[in-house]
Amino acid sequence: MRTTEIHALHWCGMDMQAYWDRVYSGAKPSERSWFRPHLELSLALIERSGVDHGAAILDVGGGESTLTDDLMAAGFRDLTVLDASQMALERIRLRLGRAEEKVSWICGDVLAVELPRSRYALWHDRAVFHFLTERSQRVAYVRQAALAVKPGGHIIVGVFGPEGPKQCSGLNVMRYDSRSLDEEFGNRFRLVESVEELHQTPSGATQPFVYCHWVVL
């Protein structure tokens, strides 16, 4: 482990670390609605970005996903995982074994954590942004991404599509199409592509997702 940073997590008066720790303690990974054995679309978008294997990649809301495992297997060497749940991060690290020492870990609030300026070549987020129901939260998120990702770097964000659920894990969420998601990020980012995905949950339900990929200007 290279770094671990702990920051207070409070969105709308809630202790988000305690909240998400409870969520992660309540079911097996394969039983949660967002579970996929592998994030195939995320991996494809990262590969299409063209970032080299030594590029710094930040996975926002990494949870217990296997993205870190798969990126390491693909040869990426500079990985950081940020999540609100210390429990989720500890479970990924346990799964990785000694390989976890090659990853940087941040337990904190993506809206407030102090990230190094222009450090990352790629910012990835599957299913964090749609939890930001307040305009001020979304502005703070975009500001963080703009500061942390170097000019010419890439931002990949996946959210619920227009027909997606209105709640997830007991919290209200936002839903987007590619145009409305792009509008949230504004003119500091150039949209490269948008992709739709139908995610099948472990219970058999179908959730539409929309992914956008931008380059930082």
Q: Encode pLDDT of 145-200 as tens digits.
A: 999 999 999 999 999 999 999 999 888 999 999 999 999 999 999 999 999 999 99
At residue 14 the predicted structure's pLDDT band, cuts being 50, 70 and 90, is low
Has residue 74 got a pLDDT over 50?
yes
Residue-range domain boundaries for the chain: 10-216
The DSSP string of 133-144 is -SHHHHHHHHHH
pLDDT band at 5 (very low <50, low <70, confident <90, very high): very low
Encoded amino acid at 58, one letter: L
Mean of the pLDDT values across residues 109-137? 96
Count of CB atoms within 10 A of residue 26's CB? 10
Q: Are 159 and 133 in contact (CB under 8 A)?
A: no
Does the global pTM surpass 0.85? yes
CATH fold, domain 10-216, is Rossmann fold (3.40.50)
**Percent above pLDDT 90 for the chain:** 77
If you average pLDDT over every residue of the chain, what do you get? Answer: 91
Alpha carbon distance, N-terminus to C-terminus of the chain: 32
